[in-house]
Structure 1
């Protein structure tokens, strides 16, 4: 699943993200969530990376809780 965010409260532009689900076995899957973006002048690369790392971590934990 891939998506773009055209307008958001994040200090980035050109945001594009992909979620991939890979079957490990009949009971386990691996979810990979990645994204690319350009930070706006108001933010550094490391600040925006930390922001999306937290968003992705929280989202993946929510998926895990829902499907466990």
Structure 2
């Protein structure tokens, strides 16, 4: 029973540290090969025109990057 409790606590601490890392970096967990990003593919579909949700998300990210560049401390 003590082995089970130790393993559970280890996994709990591991997931806690992973969640803290995600909150601080705002970067999703990805595989070691990088997935589609390693191939230079920005999206899973091969549409010529991105959907409205994708356009809105890209615009929001561009605005966020502009804000971060403008208010950079260093």
Looking at secondary structure, tell me which structure has more strand per residue: 1
Q: Which has the larger radius of gyration?
A: 2
Q: TM-score, normalised by structure 1?
A: 0.37
Higher relative contact order (CA 8 A, sep 6+): 1
